[in-house]
């Protein structure tokens, strides 16, 4: 069968590219090998099935339990000591996943995208081989091919997964009971989010990170505040340390860790390995297809996600840039648009990032270090949520908003937020930055009162020492 577009991979980048291509009048198919427990095709990729969505479900459930346990009394609400049903939490998470994956299938049907169940392999410029679940192979032809197979967690030799006591991020979303002692290797987005979930539910959590700084993609004044808050939340984070060896038992794991030049042995009931992800290219490219991987396993593309073969594209975690679902989605839309002859670009300077702990951590644009390295003079403004009436009323006034602006032009170049609703507030900053807004533009914009968004307004005013509700 011949198509205008074949997409290999049904994750965020792939299914969005397929839907958009079909909407633009292109005959489109999407190949995905993942399946549910009944052997039916499962769309949505890592994000929907074992990543973004299920982790947010558990983050929200665990935070509600934490609120009842720790903060209701401050509001004058008296409750007996709460309990939680982990099985029901997991069932709720799984129901959400089932609903959303089914939703993608319905969108394919609505938009006339052919869903092909099997493992896709690029043979050459126009041909894709699909191996179904029974091992039967079939060839498909397309004028354009989009590679969107995503990424997989990195396994480290010193602590290999065993699926029971040592797991990756997916396994950490399937625990049947709360570990008493939980070790996490990696203090990035995944490690911090999963650490938050299980700490709230009663685990004694220790996180081990090789980097000497926590979240080096942020400015140090923000990370100091973040570290203090996580310490209060009983997230014990060790920086600049290395796991040398692990010994697994039926009900636990011993880790040998180098901390501050000293070897320590620690026992945990469960260990989560969250040290990053690698592009998933296993059996994706035939040896003669004409594409090669770089030294890190990525597929080389230009700014339009076009490979060295002009009608073959790659998006999402397969290519350079942050491994984020929304980045993959926008790349998928861009590629579909360009195949259809339209001119669209992705602004890679403004890719937002969020860590869904509580408080949330969110940022976009440049940091102080990046601006200094690029020789750009800047000015900055900060506003603490402790000075926000809405945040204080909610009993959620930890953290701050930071705005960086060009010293000469006043254009906003970066926004960093640590606090309640940081992910939502960031979007307001991002929209302004997309239109090259100045800090003065933000300052002259009327924000509703009382809202936590006013913190962005005040931080922008503070850039030019004009904040109203703090000293300048």
Instruction: Label each residue of 420-468 as H, E or C.
Output: CCHHHHHHHHHHHHHCCCEHHHHHHCCCCCCCCCHHHHHHHHHHCCCCC
Collect all residues with Cβ–Cβ distance below 8 Å to 126 and sequence separation of at least 6. 141, 142, 143, 145, 311
The residues that are catalytic are 449
Among the candidates 275, 300, 324, a domain finishes at 275
Whether 15 is in a domain gets the answer yes
DSSP bridge partners of 262: 259
Whether 406 is in a domain gets the answer yes
Same domain, 97 and 149: yes
Number of domains comprising the chain = 3
Collect all residues with Cβ–Cβ distance below 8 Å to 220 and sequence separation of at least 6. 213
* Locus of tokens 């506003």: 383
Same domain, 147 and 287: yes
Same domain, 188 and 262: yes
Same domain, 418 and 438: yes
Whether 119 is in a domain gets the answer yes
Same domain, 56 and 125: yes
Among the candidates 240, 260, 275, a domain finishes at 275
**Distance between CA atoms of residues 173 and 167, nearest Å:** 10
Whether 158 is in a domain gets the answer no
The DSSP bridge pattern shows strands 2-8 and 137-147 to be parallel
pLDDT on residue 36: 86
Q: How far is residue 231 from each of residues 235, 238, 244, measured CA to CA in Å?
A: 5, 11, 25
Residues of the chain with pLDDT under 50: none
Tokens of 227: 């570290």
The parent domain of residue 418 ranges over 359-463
Whether 159 is in a domain gets the answer no
**Distance between CA atoms of residues 100 and 403, nearest Å:** 36
Same domain, 7 and 108: yes
pTM, two decimals, is: 0.96
Same domain, 340 and 386: no
pLDDT on residue 426: 98
The DSSP bridge pattern shows strands 378-384 and 312-314 to be unpaired
pLDDT on residue 1: 77
Whether 469 is in a domain gets the answer no
Q: How far is residue 435 from each of residues 26, 380, 394, 431, 438, measured CA to CA in Å?
A: 31, 19, 32, 7, 9
CATH code for the domain of 458: 3.30.390.30
Whether 472 is in a domain gets the answer no
Among the candidates 328, 348, 368, a domain finishes at 348
* Locus of tokens 């081990």: 208
Cβ atoms of 231 and 206 within 8 Å: the answer is: no
Whether 71 is in a domain gets the answer yes
Instruction: Classify burial at 286, counting beta carbons within 10 Å of its beta carbon; exposed 0-12, middle 13-18, buried 19 or more.
Output: middle
pLDDT on residue 38: 84
Same domain, 70 and 144: yes
Same domain, 242 and 311: no
CATH code for the domain of 327: 3.50.50.60
**Distance between CA atoms of residues 38 and 449, nearest Å:** 51
Same domain, 295 and 235: no
**Distance between CA atoms of residues 208 and 210, nearest Å:** 7
Same domain, 264 and 178: yes
Same domain, 241 and 111: no
Measured in whole angstroms, the distance separating CA 448 from the mean position of its chain's CA atoms is 29
């Amino acid at each position: 069968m011949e198509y205008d577009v074949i997409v290999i991979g049904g994750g965020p980048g792939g299914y969005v590219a397929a839907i958009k291509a079909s909407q633009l009048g292109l005959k489109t198919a999407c190949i995905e090998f993942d399946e549910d427990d009944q052997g039916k095709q499962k769309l949505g990729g890592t994000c929907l099935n074992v990543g973004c969505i299920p982790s947010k479900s558990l983050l929200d459930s665990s935070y509600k339990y934490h609120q009842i346990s720790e903060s209701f009394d401050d509001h004058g609400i008296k409750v007996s000591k709460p309990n939680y049903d982990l099985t029901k939490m997991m069932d709720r998470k799984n129901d959400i996943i089932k609903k959303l994956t089914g939703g993608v299938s319905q969108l394919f049907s609505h938009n006339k995208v052919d869903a092909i169940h099997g493992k896709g392999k690029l043979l050459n410029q126009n041909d894709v081989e699909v191996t179904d679940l029974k091992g039967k192979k079939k060839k498909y032809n397309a004028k354009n091919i989009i590679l969107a197979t995503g990424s997989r967690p990195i396994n480290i030799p010193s602590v290999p997964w065993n699926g029971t006591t040592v797991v990756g991020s997916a396994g950490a979303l399937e625990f049947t009971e709360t570990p008493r002692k939980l070790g996490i290797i990696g203090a990035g987005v995944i490690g911090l989010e999963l650490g938050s979930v299980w700490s709230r539910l009663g685990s004694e959590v220790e996180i081990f990170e090789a980097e000497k700084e926590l979240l080096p993609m942020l400015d140090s004044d923000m990370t100091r505040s973040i570290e203090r808050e996580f310490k209060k939340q009983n997230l014990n984070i060790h920086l600049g340390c290395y796991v040398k060896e692990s010994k697994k038992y039926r009900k636990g794991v011993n880790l040998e860790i180098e901390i501050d030049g000293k070897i320590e042995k620690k026992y945990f009931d469960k260990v989560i390995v969250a040290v990053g992800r690698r592009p998933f290219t296993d059996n994706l490219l035939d040896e003669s297809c004409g594409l090669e991987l770089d030294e890190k396993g990525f597929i080389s593309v230009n700014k339009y996600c076009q490979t060295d073969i002009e009608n073959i594209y790659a998006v999402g975690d397969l290519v350079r840039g942050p491994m984020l679902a929304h980045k993959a989605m926008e790349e998928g839309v861009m590629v579909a648009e360009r195949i259809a002859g339209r001119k669209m670009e992705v602004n890679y300077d403004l890719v937002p990032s969020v860590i869904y702990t509580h408080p949330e951590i969110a940022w976009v644009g440049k940091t102080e270090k990046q601006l200094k390295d690029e020789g750009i003079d800047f000015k900055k403004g900060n506003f603490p949520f402790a000075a926000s009436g809405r945040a204080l009323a909610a009993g959620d006034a930890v953290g701050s908003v930071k705005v960086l602006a060009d010293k000469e032009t006043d254009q906003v170049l970066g926004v960093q937020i640590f606090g309640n609703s940081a992910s939502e507030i960031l979007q307001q900053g991002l929209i302004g930055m997309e239109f090259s807004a100045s800090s003065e533009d933000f300052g002259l914009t009327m924000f509703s009162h009382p809202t936590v968004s006013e913190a962005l307004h005040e931080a922008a005013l503070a850039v030019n020492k004009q904040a109203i509700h703090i000293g300048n």
